[in-house]
Structure 1
Amino acid sequence: MKAELSRRDLLAAAGVGAGALAVGACATDARPIPGTLGGSDFRRGHRVRTGQLPEPQGKLEELPLLIAGGGVAGLAAAWRLVEAGFRQFRLIELEDETGGNARGGRNQVSAYPLGAHYLPVPNREAGALRHMLRQFGMITGEQDGAPVYDPYQLCADLEERLFWRGEWQEGLYPVAGLSAVDRADRDAFRRTMSDYSRATGKDGRPAFAVPSAYSSRDPEFLALDRLSFSQWLEQRGWRSPPLRAYVRYCCRDDYGTEPEGVSAWAGIHYFAARRGWAANGDGDRELTWPEGNQRLVRLMAQQVAGQVATAKSLVRATADNDGVIADVLDHRSETTHRVRTKAAILAMPRFVAARVAPARVPADASGYAPWIVANVTVARPPAGKGTPLAWDNVSTASNSLGYVVATHQSDSASGGPTVLTWYLPLSMETPAAARHLLLQRPLESWQALVRDDLLQLHPELAGAITRIDVWRWGHAMIRPAPGLMAQAADRLEDAVRPPLLLAHSDLSGLSLFEEAHYAGVAAAEAALRHLGHPVESLL
């Protein structure tokens, strides 16, 4: 690795030629590495697309309510139903376990995430989520009216570090070696985002909120959706390479997409929407666990365990005057049975719902970002010049998003073995080309890519990498392209129209835990009202 990055290197980090890491790497060590190649079950997922489905067999089953999809939104819907005292439902999930892209894994060293790995302290407006966190013991009380979070659930110090100009520094924005233009662009950007964070629309709502359903629908802010984030930055004249590299990192981190493909509204939302509400100055912190957000989805799943059936897919759903006719495929027995239900919640991505219930969900051209997540077991923790090991570790010289340390909350400083969870959104290719790469590339090639990236950053790990487990996400998250966000309010309103209700983070255009949770709760409460069950809204 170079000891110092030039301006050309920074431009490369901002996107010029950055696809090289995503499509190939030259292995520095030919020895085989133990590990597995996993991912969501695309064969099961593609059954609806191919249309090769058995006809329904057996007696028609009657059921008050069906939830199809056991990701965050489906589990949140089920959690809300049980919270309201309603258990006359079934949740079906295509995979062998629930959790969606918040799933995790475990080995002899530690639990680790397979996807989403943290939850920012929620905003004041996120009442339903805060209610759940209080129920799970993550909010332990109040102080001066603000929630008090269990300190053991909050990310321990040090939270973030950045490899910049040959050494590690605290934070994710360079602090040294900036030109006068770099500093001016950085300061102007920060002031603008602070202004947007405090802004209120003519409808009295904050310009940007989390969940986004609480955001202003003022045309002044919605007009931002007509531009890409890159175009918006160009209009402002902000071309500083460190700023552009940082913005690129943030867009890829939350959206899996380059700034050129991100709506300016979504880009600004990343920086301006989070106003975490907590006592003790904890509002800008994150909740995290060794297994990442699997902690949250497992707690929800435990509440509804008796209502969950895995390895089952909803393959057809049709609404009529009496409710919904649903055909459910059992992937273990390869049989389909038919269910009549008074209402159904389709807690699945929009492109899947459009195939399952085309009369309810029109097809659209939304794209989905593919990702690679690798969990790297090492005999000793990484080191490096400058700031010591943090929870989140990012390099300006890599096209990956760096890694988080699974054991950070407990013993990351002990010097013993740990697991590094390494992230790479395949954002430089088209989603279709990236998904083809996911299916064709063997485990050994992915392992070499991950190993080389880590060893370039941490040569001291040579000989210490003992295992690399690779997980593929073909449709990890919706891409918030220009034109998508301005229609979010209409999608969210339409989603809670019974008897076929929709629940997914796709509805907001932002693949965030808070968005999926909100959509699930909203669908559950609408279903309860439709079924005549009393419910006092948490939203």
Structure 2
Amino acid sequence: MQRRSFLRWTAALGAGGAAAAAGIAAYGRWREIKPDVHHPGRAEGHYLRDRQALPPPSSVIDADVAVLGSGIAGLTAAWKLHREGVGDVLMVDGPEPFGNAAGGAHGALAYPTGAHYLPIPPQECLHVRHLLYDLGIITRDPYGPRPQYDEKLILHAPHERLLYGGKWQEGIAPRDGVPAAELAEHARFNAEMEKLHAMRGADRLKVFTLPAAHASNDPAWRRLDSITFKAWLEQNSYRAPTLLWYLDYCCRDDYGIGIDRVSAWAGLHYFCARGGEASNAEGGAWLTWPGGLQPLAEQLAKRTGARRMAGTVASVKEVNGRVEALCFTLEAGKPRTYLVRARKAICAMPLFVASRVVDNIAQYGFDPARHMPAYAPWLVTNFLLDRFPEELPEAPLSWDNVVHGTKGLGYVVSTHQDIRRQPPAQTVFTSYVALSDRDPVEARKWLQTASAEELLALAATDLRAAYGSAFDGCVQRADITLRAHAMAAPLPGFLSNAGIQALRDAHGPILFAHSDLSGFSVFEEASWWGWQAARNALA
């Protein structure tokens, strides 16, 4: 953790880039706060990267199945094994319990440090519906076309708003003040997405669906993965600036990269694959918690029945038809190790980690030099406010608040679901930034070297645009979470990645489960591969 004071009248910075320096200059009358900068897994990751020596294991733990990682894929795998009657499951949490589903709290105020919502799952996502029903989140008719959900968890209005042309408007797609010709192009795009949503390939499978493993393999549609989304838009005469901004925002929000880099198949998948319905909510509604997905992850962890161990996997290998995993914890910077032995091991970790810890991963058909996906870095910052800033009159504060034309992804309000008559005295605004405006490697280098002031300035870009200097006096503290490898980015060609396909098909003592196997990071995909790995572990 890096902790520094950020003082009123902050001085100019060094090599953080002109944008960050300008942001800090704009911070002007900023009272003292002390931003905490968190780097989940960095110390453990550098230990693995640098191949530092580890002491011999101080203990040996035996299990039938070891789940190595506690993100959504690992939790789903452990939950599925428990449902199938496997009673001896050990889960090694990894460097950050719950991974991208993690969260934090300031006293009673919970907040996300990763993912913060789950769309109502469509009927094709039976694995997610089964899980949500078991957790009591779906309360009736889990496998029907329109299940009933726990009312407390359905996102209530106002859902989202956009600051465009100095005024707030409902929704994220620009509308008010947009020329009629551009609005017509928005309408044409939406109509085309409706058609593609129902489209099926020559194999009679839906072209776009969740999980993506169930999508059509029709080559005519898979060719979309050979070009960028921007190229597809140009080919289909979509040129309206407000539409292109909106589509770019959506891709940055879900994939961490913009339309100029994302696969056309993935870009279209974002708009065509979902559409879940509920009996007690509008179509396409969301489920959300003040702490993001952490409350869901915690609830799921309790239902797994697994023994949980703190620790990070250093090595995984097959030994006489079984698996041995050497794990370690860092205590005051010094490692302590233990050995896990199991009949099966599920590597529920990102592939950039698995490639370092799985002994000779090439034997499973995955060559890190050729098959490693690109990873998008993210910056997630939670601002604890001692009062709500004053709003412009056009549209009320919403759950998701986006600013047109910036590099940020907006901010969500942790207390949005609080339905008391009077708003709470304090709240947390969570700012999201995907560093999609620069090369991912350079972005990671910048995250490692940037000062707390530079990070804070970037994190507050949208909030400063929305509230100006009035925001300054509301902030009591800020917690910054850096996710240097936040999510796999679906670049053109990701669907034909032979190495990832080989890991999907692994059926030996070592199995793999992570959203990386789909090539993009969403709950439905992570959960699917956890489900599949659990089924394979039963064999």
Task: Tell me the TM-score normalized by structure 1.
Answer: 0.89
Cα distance in 2 for partners of 1:75, 1:415 equals 33
Distance (Å, rounded) in 1 between the aligned partners of 2:106 and 2:112: 11
Look up the SS of the partner of 2:443 in the other structure: helix
Counterpart residue type for residue 403 of structure 2: S
- State the partner residue of 2:7: none
Paired with 2:270 and 2:260, the residues of 1 have a C-alpha distance of 15
Structure 1 residue 116 corresponds to structure 2 residue 115: yes
Tell me whether 315-324 or 157-166 shows the greater mean CA deviation.
315-324
Please give the residue correspondences for 1:141-152 in structure 2 after superposition, counting only pairs within 5 Å. Answer: 141-142=140-141, 146-152=146-152
* Structure 2 partner of 1:374: 381
Partner of 1:389: 397
Aligned partners of 1:58 and 1:452: how far apart in 2? 48
Aligned pair 1:86/2:86, yes or no?
Answer: yes
Which runs of no fewer than 5 residues in structure 1 stay unpaired?
A: 1-18, 530-539
Partner of 1:16: none
Q: Counterpart of 1:238 in 2: which secondary structure?
A: coil
Name the CA distance, whole Å, in 2 between partners of 1:466 and 1:55: 43
Map 1:41-60 → 2, pairs under 5 A = 41-54=41-54, 56-57=56-57
Identity, in percent, stands at: 38
Q: Where do residues 331-350 of structure 1 align in structure 2 (5 Å cutoff)? A: 331-332=330-331, 334-350=335-351
Structure 2 residue corresponding to 1:419, chosen from 413, 423, 428: 428
Give the residue type in structure 1 aligned to 2:381.
A
Q: Report the number of matched residues.
A: 509
Cα RMSD for the two superposed structures: 2.3
Change (3 A) 1:381 1:495: farther
Aligned to 1:362: 367
Alignment partner, residue 5 of structure 2: none
Per the alignment, do residues 231 and 377 of structure 1 end up closer, same or farther by CA in structure 2, a change over 3 Å counting? same
Equivalences for residues 464-483 of structure 1 within 5 A: 464-483=474-493
Question: How far does residue 452 in structure 1 lie from its aligned partner after superposition?
Answer: 5.3
Q: Identify the range of structure 1 (495-504 vs 366-375) with the bigger mean alpha-carbon deviation.
A: 495-504
Give the corresponding residue for 2:139: 140
Q: Report how far residue 77 of structure 1 moved.
A: 0.8
Give the AA of the match of 1:370.
P
Q: Is the 8 A contact 1:32 1:444 kept in 2?
A: no
Please report how far the alpha carbon of residue 285 of structure 1 lies from its aligned counterpart in structure 2 after TM superposition. 0.2
CA distance in 1, matches of 2:217, 2:153: 34
Can you give the 5+ residue segments of structure 2 that lack an aligned partner in the other structure? 1-16
2:511 to 501, 517, 520: 501
Over residues 280-337 of structure 1, what are the superposed CA-to-partner deviations in whole Å (9 max), with x where a residue is unaligned? 4533100001001111111111223651101x22222223552223322343462444
> What TM-score comes out, normalization by structure 2 length?
0.89
C-alpha contact 2:68 2:92 (8 A) present in aligned 1? yes
Counterpart for residue 206 of structure 1: 206
- 1:306–1:60 distance in 2 versus 1, CA, 3 Å: closer
Counterpart contact for 2:35–2:480, Cα < 8 Å:
yes
Q: Which residue of 1 aligns with 2:538?
A: 528
Check 1:53–1:23 CA distance in 2 against 1; reply closer, same or farther (3 A cut).
Answer: farther
Q: Provide the residue aligned with 1:511 in structure 2.
A: 521
Counterpart residue identity of residue 232, structure 2: W
Q: Who is 1:535 aligned against? A: none
Matching residue of 2:353? 352
Pairing of 1:1-400 with structure 2 (within 5 A) = 21=19, 25=23, 26=25, 27-54=27-54, 56-57=56-57, 62-95=62-95, 98-108=97-107, 110-142=109-141, 146-304=146-304, 306-310=306-310, 312-319=311-318, 321-332=320-331, 334-357=335-358, 358=361, 359-360=363-364, 361-363=366-368, 364-382=371-389, 383-400=391-408
Query: What is the alpha-carbon distance in structure 2 between the residues aligned to residue 376 and residue 282 of structure 1?
Result: 30
- How far does residue 275 in structure 1 lie from its aligned partner after superposition? 2.1
- Name the CA shift for 1:58/1:168 in 2 (closer, same or farther; >3 Å): closer
**Cα offset, 1:167, TM superposition:** 1.0
Q: Distance in 1 between matches of 2:476 and 2:400?
A: 21
Q: CA deviation at 1:61?
A: 5.0
In structure 2, do the counterparts of structure 1 residues 468 and 350 end up closer, same or farther at CA, with 3 Å as the change threshold? same
Q: Take 2:424 and 2:105, find their aligned partners in 1: how far apart are those partners?
A: 20
The residue type equivalent to 1:84 in the other structure is E
Q: CA–CA distance in 1 between the matches of 2:380 and 2:97?
A: 18
Shift of 1:488: 8.1
Larger displacement relative to structure 2 (327-336 or 396-405): 327-336
1:375 offset after TM fit, Å?
A: 0.7
Measure how far apart 1:22 and its partner are: 6.0
